[in-house]
């Protein structure tokens, strides 16, 4: 297939490579030309605009940062929609607001094309190993047609519901995961306050009911005090801004998520935005110093 890809960052780059290795021809567009350098010498085609990219492809993937970026890319001047046509599909794997995803999908539907919101969980490691969890919103028949492509990127591919449903699932994922990171940080902080060995506590807990992926991976980072990302906490902070705003709009109380959000705010204020989210431990430590 002729496959477009925009957003060749930590996540996007290995994902694009997997698609290429599976025998698809890659079409690329990037705001900064150096982003496509890793594909020099391959048969990947670089285009001058998202519109040109769309016109040359059957399906185009995007993995970028914010709702505004995706909307600009999809619907802006020289956006994907100007090269879209009936049967063409935009798969957005960014984490954005469900309302944005629905808006973009409606615009593509109106011109006979389609859009899937397909955010992922699993981080850079999952992207490299092609073991991502992919949560999909949009038309089921479109997903079935593209399932072989998504299978190049992830292991768990779930159709959650209509447009925006993938983003809702991703918001739930972020709430559970970051709340677990905060719980893990608080446990480590308590152990530390008692002068108990953190590594020993973590190993003991991993054998019991509190065992979790977060305790395993982020707990390890906290024990080693290795806060180099990982996942930059500013991205989790961004996600919490979106999901808490949606919760207010819906009149849904999220008391724990609201507290976790405040800890993330404090981490941003302390200059920790580029650190891994396990640095939430440092927020607790800063609040405990006299």
Partner 1 sequence: MEVGFIGLGLMGRPMALNLMRAGHRVHVWSRRRESMQPLLDAGAGDCASAADVASRAEVVISIVADAPDVEEVALGPQGVADGARPGLVFIDMSTIAPAAAQSIAARLAERDIAMLDAPVSGGEVGAIGATLTIMVGGDAAAFERVKPLFDAMGRTVSLIGASGAGQVAKACNQILTGVGVAAVAEAMNFAHKSGVDAAKVREALLGGFAYSRILENHGQRMLERNFKPGFKAWMHQKDLRIVMEEAHRLGLALPSAAATAQMFNAMVGSGLGDDDSVAMLKLLERMSGSERGREGE
Measured from the CB atom, the residue of 178 and 198 that comes closer to partner 1 is 178
Residue 201 is inside which H or E element, if any? helix 198-206
Nearest residue to 104 (alpha-carbon basis) of 120, 135, 78, 80: 80
Measured from the CB atom, the residue of 251 and 290 that comes closer to partner 1 is 251
Measured from the CB atom, the residue of 57 and 95 that comes closer to partner 1 is 95
Structure tokens at 124: 């850079």
Residue 252 Cβ vs partner 1, minimum distance, rounded to whole Å: 6
User: Could you tell me which residues come within 8 angstroms of residue 234 by beta carbon, excluding any fewer than 6 positions away?
Assistant: 268, 273, 274
Per-residue binder mask for partner 1 (CB under 8 A), 183-222, x = binder = ----------------------------------------
268 binds partner 1 (CB under 8 A): yes
SS3 5: strand
Cα 241 to chain centroid, rounded: 14
263 binds partner 1 (CB under 8 A): yes
Cβ atoms of residues 190 and 125 within 8 Å: no
125 binds partner 1 (CB under 8 A): no
289 binds partner 1 (CB under 8 A): no
The residues assigned a catalytic role are 170
Q: Following CA atoms 99, 168, 122, 131 in sequence, which dihedral angle do they give, to the nearest 10 degrees? A: -100
Per-residue binder mask for partner 1 (CB under 8 A), 219-258, x = binder = ------------------x--xx--xx-xx-xxxxxx--x
Q: How many CA atoms lie within 13 A of 209 on its CB side?
A: 0
User: Could you tell me which residues come within 8 angstroms of residue 144 by beta carbon, excluding any fewer than 6 positions away?
Assistant: none
Residue 235 Cβ vs partner 1, minimum distance, rounded to whole Å: 14
Cα 124 to chain centroid, rounded: 10
Residue 268 Cβ vs partner 1, minimum distance, rounded to whole Å: 3
Residue 263 Cβ vs partner 1, minimum distance, rounded to whole Å: 7
Q: Name the phi and psi angles at 254, rounded to 5.
A: -130, 75
Q: How many residues interact with partner 1 (rule CB under 8 A)?
A: 23
265 binds partner 1 (CB under 8 A): yes
| Chain residues in the site for partner 1 (CB under 8 A) | 237, 240-241, 244-245, 247-248, 250-255, 258-259, 261-263, 265-269
């Amino acid at each position: 297939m002729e496959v477009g890809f925009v957003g060749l960052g930590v996540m996007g780059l290995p994902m694009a490579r997997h698609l290429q290795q599976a025998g698809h021809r890659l079409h690329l567009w990037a705001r900064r030309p150096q982003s496509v350098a890793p594909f020099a010498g391959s048969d990947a085609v670089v285009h001058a605009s998202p519109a040109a990219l769309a016109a040359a492809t059957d399906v185009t993937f995007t993995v970028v940062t914010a709702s505004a970026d995706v909307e600009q890319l999809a619907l802006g001047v020289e956006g994907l929609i100007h090269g879209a046509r009936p049967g063409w599909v935009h798969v957005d794997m960014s984490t954005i607001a469900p309302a944005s995803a629905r808006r973009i999908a409606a615009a593509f539907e109106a011109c006979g094309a389609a859009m899937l919101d397909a955010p992922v969980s699993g981080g850079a490691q999952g992207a490299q190993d092609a073991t991502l969890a992919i949560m999909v919103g949009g038309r089921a028949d479109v997903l079935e047609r593209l399932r072989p492509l998504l299978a190049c990127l992830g292991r768990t591919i779930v159709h959650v519901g209509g447009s925006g449903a993938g983003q809702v699932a991703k918001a739930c994922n972020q709430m559970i995961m970051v709340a677990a990171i905060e719980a893990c940080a608080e446990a480590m902080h308590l152990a530390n306050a008692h002068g108990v060995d953190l590594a020993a506590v973590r190993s003991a807990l991993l054998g019991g009911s509190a065992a979790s992926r977060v305790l395993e991976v982020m707990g390890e980072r906290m024990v080693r005090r290795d806060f180099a990302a990982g996942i930059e906490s500013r991205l989790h902070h961004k996600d919490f801004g979106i999901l808490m705003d949606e919760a207010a709009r819906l009149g849904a109380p999220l008391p724990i998520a609201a507290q976790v959000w405040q800890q993330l705010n404090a981490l941003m204020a302390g200059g920790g935005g580029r650190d891994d989210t396990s640095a939430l431990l440092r927020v607790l430590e800063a609040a405990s110093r006299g």
